[in-house]
Amino acid sequence: MQERVGCPGWLRGSRFKGVARPGRYLLLYDAETPAAFESDTYYARLGNPTEMSRTILPKFRDTWRTVCGVERRVGDGVAAAVLALRLGPGDAAPFDALAVLRPARLDLMKGLGNVGQAHTAEKDLRAAPDRQIDRALLAFFWSVADAEKARAAHAPSAEVFALRHTVSKADLV
């Protein structure tokens, strides 16, 4: 994660683990603009995977990897848990209902298709091609319990993940 956050334009990386499904993970990277995911520095790192990447990526299953633009955002934090909801092109998002709950951050995002999708050595390590999302809603809550309550009330098909690790650009100095 540190080697990616060290790329120009990258701000933070966070790793979350599924609460109800502990074998699932969510990795989220924040960047200044989507162009950060197309930089020569980033692609050079994907072309030369770390030893850890070479060990774990072949074990990945059902990967979804999409660069997204933010359509709406409230807040800017990363908290103890994230409620993640994949949305189709016409699906309504419970953005306003979740915003009332005052999460640390709430993002409604749109997948940007081919951004950051060039063929790389790292992609070759995964068992199957990555799938992409059309849209997503991420709500960051201060506790897993708060995220679970929000899921039950407003987004029953969402999944809750607990924060395991986060690193920002400032952590690398």
pLDDT attached to residue 122 = 82
Q: Contact 146/102 with Cβ under 8 angstroms?
A: no
Query: Degrees (nearest 5) of the Cα angle 21, 160, 129?
Result: 65
* C-alpha–C-alpha distance, residues 68 and 28, integer Å: 11
* C-alpha–C-alpha distance, residues 80 and 82, integer Å: 7
Q: Which two tokens stand for residue 133?
A: 């999302």
pLDDT attached to residue 63 = 86
Q: Contact 158/91 with Cβ under 8 angstroms?
A: no
Q: What is the pTM of this model?
A: 0.91
- Tens digit of each residue's pLDDT (9 = 90 or more) over 151-172: 999 999 999 999 999 999 999 9
H or E element: which one contains 90?
none
pLDDT attached to residue 93 = 86
- Tens digit of each residue's pLDDT (9 = 90 or more) over 93-151: 899 999 999 999 999 999 998 887 778 888 878 888 888 899 999 999 999 999 999 99
Secondary-structure class of domain 2-172 per CATH: alpha beta
- Tens digit of each residue's pLDDT (9 = 90 or more) over 45-89: 989 898 988 898 888 888 888 999 999 999 988 999 999 999 988
